[in-house]
Structure 1
């Protein structure tokens, strides 16, 4: 079968190539064989392939943390409810491996996909929508004002959708001035502010209603030195939620000193999913699937490709602003 393989640690576009590899062996006692139907590329793939997690990453590695497939076979000890998944679509979680035509996965990591969702929608149900759903429910309930960095990103669009739908709250979007990038739905945002402007913090405070002196919550996927500015922009007692490191460096230690009663929360989807009881994992996706049925939390696609076309797209910026890459492993 065909697979996209990272031969060694490094940038995706330098180390990933497509080759013919052996078909997976028959499923182990607790495993399902999944024929991948669609997958995509995420920053988590780039970070993992870079070698950032040497203790849990071995090479050669088949990346791909997100995708959808059809269960073809089940191991002998797979229980009846999971055995019923044969012939049905699932999201195979638990680790990389979606950039190939077939893979085997422990049955407890396979999330059944509702029949009403098409493959294109369901392919993107995991990383961005689930992260957005969990963060909004965990950190934004009762917030009077919320700001979101990297507002033109796909996940920022999901966050704005959820805040307006669930709390009738339009967030403030913070952008870095990337040429050609725009938010998906301007009506869901109170205002967009460029962090390249020297007075962006004053602009942010001016948008916040009343005398709150800053947003109650800032959802940040950038990290790095700007984190200290974000903490200082919070209202007293506010919360900075860090869920990404696009800057490539951690928050300064001063962010955690509790100034003005502020606090920093670190949200990692992997930690949440891996610490959750496996039997309850499908319940995490119930709110996501319900919203997708209603036409929300849908991810725009910038380009479709087969596996052979994937290496040429990695590192080009495709999928970083105007939609994601949709990969058909059999194309």
Structure 2
């Protein structure tokens, strides 16, 4: 079958090649084979291929942590009527290939009324945003800061927060051509490429500081946002877009804010991955992804309402993915939609 493969660690655009590889083989007990329909490219793919997670990544490596497909065949213990069901195949990479074998308990059924190009993006950004708002933004919280506000997840966070009556303060780099998706959802947008941005952030959050800060940048920007988080507030760190860790020692400033590290992988593998292994049952003896489906229920509900949607900037077939990453075709802002069928 066809797959996009990184044979060694390195920059994704430099080490990825599309070629024929061995198929997944027949599914074992509790397993299914999913025929992939669509996938996308996320920072997690580039970071993993770079070798950053060497202890849990072996090469050759097929990236793709997000996507949608159809169950093509099932192994012993999996209900026969699962064949033909559209699912999100979670728990591992490997969505940049025509067929993927995995445990049935890692398959989240996709509602019939969600198109492939919507369901494809249901996982990383929408689920992360939903879980963080639920866990770290209690009722009554009103003063919230979001870094990387022009990103897809920044837009998702703004949607969810405004549903709660919160108009957040956004922090952006000021990249030309990039702007927040809906300016009406933001109380203030502070650009870090302007001198004195820290003073403007301080003025935006007020003398008490932010009750909650949601940071996926780290480095100097994340450290500065931490200093503007209230002493009894919560600073949530969930990404490292700057490539630079947060300061080892807490920066001077208000200080005292609780620091939380949110990792979607920990939640999915901890809360969802154990489903189907409880009470002595085998993976395939329960409906696929029951525990994971509970996590996704609010995401699917929002997607049906037209919320938490991801803009598609370019569509590319699996056969052309490596070439596109090396020589990106111009297009509108948005993510890459990979049609795995072509």
TM over 0.5: yes
Could you tell me how far 1:212 is from its partner in structure 2?
4.6
CA shift for structure 1 position 315:
5.8
Quick check: 1:178 aligned with 2:189?
no
* CA pair 263-212 structure 1, distance change in 2 beyond 3 A: same
Report how far residue 230 of structure 1 moved: 1.4
1:257 shift after superposition: 9.3
Deviation at 1:161, TM superposition (A): 0.5
Structure 2 equivalent of residue 42 of structure 1: 42
**Aligned residue number for residue 317 of structure 2:** 306
Residues in 1 aligned to 2:312 and 2:22: alpha-carbon distance in whole angstroms: 30
Question: Aligned residue for 2:333?
Answer: 322
Alpha carbon RMSD of aligned pairs, Å? 2.0
8 Å contact from structure 1 (residues 205, 213) kept in 2: no
Query: Which stretches of structure 1, 4 residues or longer, exceed 4 Å deviation after superposition?
Result: 256-259, 315-321
Of residues 40-49 and 308-317 in structure 1, the stretch that sits farther from structure 2 once superposed is: 308-317
Give the match for residue 295 of structure 1: 306
Q: Which runs of 5+ in 1 are unaligned?
A: none
Which of the residues 233, 244, 249 maps onto 2:244? 249
Helix, strand or coil at the partner of 2:5? strand
CA distance in structure 2 between the aligned counterparts of 1:304 and 1:249, rounded to whole angstroms: 31
Inter-partner Cα distance in structure 2 for 1:299 and 1:308: 23
Distance 1:235 1:216 in 2: 6
Q: Is the 8 A contact 2:224 2:251 kept in 1?
A: no
Match of 2:157 in 1: 159
Q: TM-score, normalised by structure 1?
A: 0.93
CA-CA distance at 1:231 after TM superposition = 1.3
| TM-score of the superposed pair, with normalisation by structure 2 | 0.90
1:105/1:319 CA distance change after superposition, 3 Å = farther
C-alpha deviations, 1:4-62, integer Å up to 9, x for none? Answer: 00010011001000001122201111111100010001000011101111111110011
Instruction: Provide the rounded CA distance (Å) in 2 between the counterparts of 1:84 and 1:244.
Output: 39
Q: Which residue in the other structure is 2:57 paired with? A: 57
Contact 1:205 1:215 in 2 (8 A): no
From 280, 286, 296, the equivalent of 2:297 is 286
Report deviation, 1:236: 2.5
SS where residue 314 of structure 1 aligns? Answer: helix
8 Å contact kept, 2:227–2:252: no
Pairwise CA distance, 1:301: 0.2
Q: Does 1:193 align with 2:190?
A: yes
The number of residue pairs the alignment matches comes to: 325
Secondary structure of residue in 1 paired with 2:223? helix
2:278 corresponds in structure 1 to none
Cα deviation digits, residues 102-155 of structure 1 (max 9, x gap):
111100100000111111100000000000000001111232211111111001
Equivalent-residue separation in structure 2 for 1:199 and 1:235 (angstroms): 20
The alignment partner of 1:65 has SS state of coil
Tell me the SS of whatever aligns to 1:255: coil
Structure 2 gaps, min length 5: 276-289
Aligned match of 2:281: none
